[in-house]
Structure 1
Amino acid sequence: MSTLPPTPPGFDHPEDASVSRSGYLRKPQILSRECVAQSRLFKVESLALRFSNGEERQFERLTGADRGAVMIVAMPDPDHVLLIREYAAGFEDYVLTLPKGLVDPGEDIITAANRELMEECGFGAHCIEPLVELSLAPNYMRHRMQVLLATDLYPKRLPGDEPEPLIVETHAIEELPMLLLREDFHEARAIAALYIARDRMREEKRNNATDFI
């Protein structure tokens, strides 16, 4: 005889959690969707949802062109990373972050990452590999960003669309705790990307050391 999965903490009955027999929550039904506002870059969409327990809610989310985006952890050597200082209109101030940008039509993420690196940092990379995919505020948008690790850099600059020249800084990747103390370094995606890249480089160093034993 089949049984429902264990009741999640905080629920008196399994059916209260809207859990299917496969153990997953049932997705709500989209009753309607409507564009309530639109700008050059964003569209605000209103969703009417009915959850599997019968509750109905109105949600709003930001949607865009869904072209995809890349963020690049560029390392001129195994111990250092390139960061850029650019104006963030949302905070009305300059922030320290990683180079990033949209994927242009016809590009894959590797090509897009190399182009953005050339435009924003003045370097290309002979080696670019995907690290992780990150989301941002998933309750309000479905934006995803591909994080890539770029190594074996070489000087090359392409013209970009930045309104002013970006300042490029080199930081030791092992000094992340010190970076987090700075008031101008707080973008969550950049922080996550750097920690993931740091762990990848540590693992490679351990593997290389083992090869010499």
Structure 2
Amino acid sequence: MKDTQHLYEKTISSQTIYEGKVITLKVDEVLLPNGHTAKREIVTHQGAVAVMALTDEGKLVAVRQFRKPLEQVIVELPAGKLEPGEEPLACAKRELQEETGYQAKDYTLLSSFYTSPGFANEILHLYLATGLTKGESQPDEDEFVEVLELTLEEAHELHRLGEIRDAKTVAALFAWENRLLHGKK
């Protein structure tokens, strides 16, 4: 691996500004590689999972819900944050069942990626879930969702219309299309 030490920023001080249920906001003062200092606003997050659940008929299980930061309803993958000490696979199973009622026979980790590394440390684990069985959803008491089953074409149309705009779901659409191009359902 290439030596990257010359790119590192050393933390001089760190101040927690806000600590909530989902995020913590802190401001770090850092020493830059050129000797100057700068402030970095950082959101820390437990991490999260998203589930690309595909039915035996080749449809994507998605949810439609209101997102307050956007002030709009969007369509996205079932997803949620990791609880302290929770394994990503256990979280994926829990979130899929809670939000959609579906349970899956098989789970495959497709990718783990940082959602916005310029200001947050959130890592998201994207799972493929297959061999689905439909059941009753049990959303959190403050969660209101509508469950959808979408063909790839319908999902792309929702993306084109701006109803699918979050990174995890857009990434999943490309992963789904890539699987189909390579003969995988």
TM-score over 0.5 for the pair = yes
Secondary structure of the structure 2 residue equivalent to 1:184: coil
Offset, 1:75: 0.3
**Structure 2 residue corresponding to 1:169, chosen from 127, 144, 148:** 148
Q: Following superposition of structure 1 onto structure 2, how do residues 12-27 of structure 1 map, counting pairs within 5 Å? A: 22-24=2-4, 25-27=6-8
Q: Distance in 2 between matches of 1:186 and 1:71?
A: 14
Task: Determine the C-alpha separation between the residues in 1 that align with 2:73 and 2:129.
Answer: 24
Q: In the TM superposition, what whole-angstrom CA distance separates every residue of 1:24-77 from its partner, at most 9, and x where no partner exists?
A: 34311111111123334332211111112212111111124x2x3110000002
The 2-side partners of 1:158 and 1:122 are apart by 4
Residues 167, 160 of structure 1: alpha-carbon distance in 2 compared, 3 angstrom cutoff: closer
Partner residue, 1:192: 171
Question: Quick one: structure 1 residues 92 and 51, their matched pair in 2 at CA, closer, same or farther if it must change by over 3 Å?
Answer: same
Sort the Cα spacing of 1:48 and 1:164 in 2 relative to 1 into closer, same or farther, 3 A: closer
Unaligned runs of 5+ in 1: 1-21, 209-213
- 2-structure distance, mates of 1:83, 1:158: 13
Change (3 A) 1:59 1:153: same
Distance 2:147 2:23 in 1: 29
Whether the 8 Å contact between 1:86 and 1:167 is mirrored in structure 2 is yes
Checking the alignment, whether the CA contact within 8 Å between 2:100 and 2:137 is kept in structure 1 is no
How many residues are aligned here? 183
What residue number does 1:51 align with?
A: 32
Question: Quick check: which has more Rg, 1 or 2?
Answer: 1
Q: Structure 1 or 2: larger strand share?
A: 2
1:87 alignment partner, one of 62, 66, 73: 66
- Give 1:10's aligned residue: none
CA contact (8 A) 2:101 2:138 kept: no
* 1:180 partner SS: helix
Q: What is aligned with 1:149? A: 128
2:121 counterpart letter in structure 1: R
Q: CA RMSD in A?
A: 2.1
Structure 1 residues 74 and 94 mapped into 2: Cα distance closer, same or farther (>3 Å)? same
CA distance in 2, matches of 1:28, 1:88: 34
Identity %: 25
**CA shift in 2, pair 1:89/1:59, >3 Å:** same
Do the aligned partners of 1:134 and 1:189 also contact (CA within 8 Å) in 2?
no
Q: What TM-score do you get using the length of structure 2 for normalisation? A: 0.88
Q: What is the match of residue 63 of structure 1? A: 44
TM-superposed CA distance for 1:85, in Å, is: 0.4
Aligned equivalents of 1:40, 1:101: Cα separation in 2: 13
Q: Which has the higher contact order (CA 8 A, sep 6+)?
A: 2
Aligned twin of 1:111: 90
